[in-house]
Structure 1
Amino acid sequence: MTSTQAARQPIIQRAKRKAERMLGPAGIFFKGFLKHPAMVGAIVPSSNRTIERVLSKVNWEECRLFVEYGPGVGTFCRPVLEKLRRDGRLIVIDTNPDFIEYLQKTIGDSRFIAVHGSASDVEEIVRAHGFENADYVLSGLPFSTLPEGVGPAIMGATHRVLRPGGAFLVYQYTARARDLMGQFFRHIDKGFEPLNVPPCVISWGWKE
């Protein structure tokens, strides 16, 4: 690296940080979509109506551990933390380090844990933070576009990590993920939220 290149790096980094501040969460989210479209699955965060509908079946009084896959810029994180009991924990898992860094900087809640990793490793991640099971797991991952074998691995790990009576909350833009869910969850409640971009298909898979 030349001295000129070295001098340019701090300028580029400052410009990047300034652009991110100007764009805010939407800019971070859009950048994540451009870098990893198969993992993000949408170009804008979910609507408030979608958030409320997805979380509507959660029994918050009994929820000690809530896990989210693909939290993005925290669209669901803040509503979950608002409802979560004081001694509860929210663990979010994302393969995109930009999202994890952003969440660690912007969410100052002692109940919040952001992990850079894969949802397929949820069992190890949950145990590493002192839990045996999760009460609820939330996912907006686009199962239909994940690499081959990854979707079933995540579904299987999620079913194993949930406590009996717990649920896997999935919001997608097609109903195709339900076929995969049906291989692991015998009881699936179905929902739909039209006021979302794009309209959202919701599934709640219950562990018996």
Structure 2
Amino acid sequence: MTNSDLGAPSRLRDRIGRKVGKMLGQWGVFFRGFLEHPRMVGSIIPSSRFTIQRMLGPVDWQRCKLFVEYGPGVGTFCLPVLEHLPGDGRLIAVDTNPLFVDYLNRIITDSRFTAVLGSAEDVEEIVRSAGHDHADYILSGLPFSTLPGGVGERIVASTHRILRPGGAFMAYQFTAAVRDLMRADFARIDSDFEFWNVLPCKLFWGWKS
């Protein structure tokens, strides 16, 4: 078997992803991102409006100057966040997939928004490089149950350090893995469940005291 044979499945997957992306627009981009990085995308289908409403419900928008999102995908949460964010607020979306980062920076022209190519582990550096001392709220759709060992713990610890007192780390997941990780840093964790989502998901809010 040659090297070209070994690379054939990957090339075929990329071609399929590009074709689907062209045909289906936003949904195609999301599907292509899932094909390319399945372990880093929580679901093949974007979150429902019910999940978005319930997840963002506890946010005190008047006190939100910096909102950070991990794993924004095609921006399912980005536009609702921008609709509520104050005029002097800012939204930073962090993703390891350049496909999603490029797509978001092209379609979202709001000056309060920036998509950054990087890891949630580096959120402290990302926030400070943007000129902020802290974040008010951090939202994550990352699939913590499938992240490599130690990565989830480092993300949660960095998230806790960069949040302001009274701020929250918010996560929507299909498992409770992130709640178990959050317990090491967050004394108060609220939880809920959203049935009207594909698949139904668990919601968590870790509050920094």
Are 2:70 and 2:120, in contact at CA under 8 Å, matched by a contact in 1?
A: yes
| Amino acid aligned to 1:86 | G
Q: In the aligned structure 1, how far is the partner of 2:27 from the partner of 2:18? A: 14
Give CA deviations for 1:89-140 in whole Å, capped at 9, x if unaligned: 0000000000000001100000001100000000000000100000000000
Q: In the aligned structure 2, how far is the partner of 1:177 from the partner of 1:120? A: 14
Are 2:29 and 2:74, in contact at CA under 8 Å, matched by a contact in 1?
A: yes
- Say which is worse superposed, 49-58 or 18-27, in terms of deviation: 18-27
Q: Percentage identity across aligned positions?
A: 64
Give CA deviations for 1:35-60 in whole Å, capped at 9, x if unaligned: 11111021100000000000000000
- Say which is worse superposed, 182-191 or 18-27, in terms of deviation: 18-27
Deviation at 1:168, TM superposition (A): 0.3
| Amino acid aligned to 2:74 | V
Q: Which residue of 2 aligns with 1:31?
A: 32
Segments of 5+ residues of structure 1 without an aligned counterpart are 1-15
Q: Which residue of 1 aligns with 2:67?
A: 66
Q: Which residue of 2 aligns with 1:91?
A: 92
Q: Does 1:138 align with 2:139?
A: yes
TM-score calculated relative to the size of structure 2:
0.90
Q: In the aligned structure 2, how far is the partner of 1:56 from the partner of 1:19? A: 34
Q: Does 1:195 align with 2:196?
A: yes
TM-score calculated relative to the size of structure 1:
0.90
| 3-state SS, counterpart of residue 168 of structure 1 | strand
Q: Which residue of 2 aligns with 1:78?
A: 79
| Amino acid aligned to 1:147 | P
Deviation at 1:176, TM superposition (A): 2.2
Q: In the aligned structure 2, how far is the partner of 1:141 from the partner of 1:39? A: 6
| Amino acid aligned to 2:183 | G
Deviation at 1:174, TM superposition (A): 1.0
Q: Which residue of 1 aligns with 2:156?
A: 155
* 1:153–1:19 Cα change, 3 Å: same
Deviation at 1:21, TM superposition (A): 3.9
Segments of 5+ residues of structure 2 without an aligned counterpart are 1-16
| Amino acid aligned to 1:69 | Y
Q: Which residue of 2 aligns with 1:9?
A: none
Q: Which residue of 2 aligns with 1:56?
A: 57
| 3-state SS, counterpart of residue 59 of structure 2 | coil
Q: In the aligned structure 2, how far is the partner of 1:136 from the partner of 1:125? A: 14
Q: In the aligned structure 2, how far is the partner of 1:171 from the partner of 1:64? A: 22
Deviation at 1:80, TM superposition (A): 0.2
| Amino acid aligned to 2:78 | C
| Amino acid aligned to 1:144 | S
Q: RMSD over aligned Cα, in angstroms?
A: 1.4
| Amino acid aligned to 2:66 | L
Q: In the aligned structure 1, how far is the partner of 2:164 from the partner of 2:20? A: 43
Q: In the aligned structure 1, how far is the partner of 2:61 from the partner of 2:189? A: 20
| 3-state SS, counterpart of residue 198 of structure 1 | coil
Give CA deviations for 1:48-84 in whole Å, capped at 9, x if unaligned: 0000000000000110000000000000000000000
Q: Which residue of 2 aligns with 1:6?
A: none
Deviation at 1:184, TM superposition (A): 1.1
Q: Which residue of 2 aligns with 1:182?
A: 183
Q: In the aligned structure 2, how far is the partner of 1:29 from the partner of 1:38? A: 14
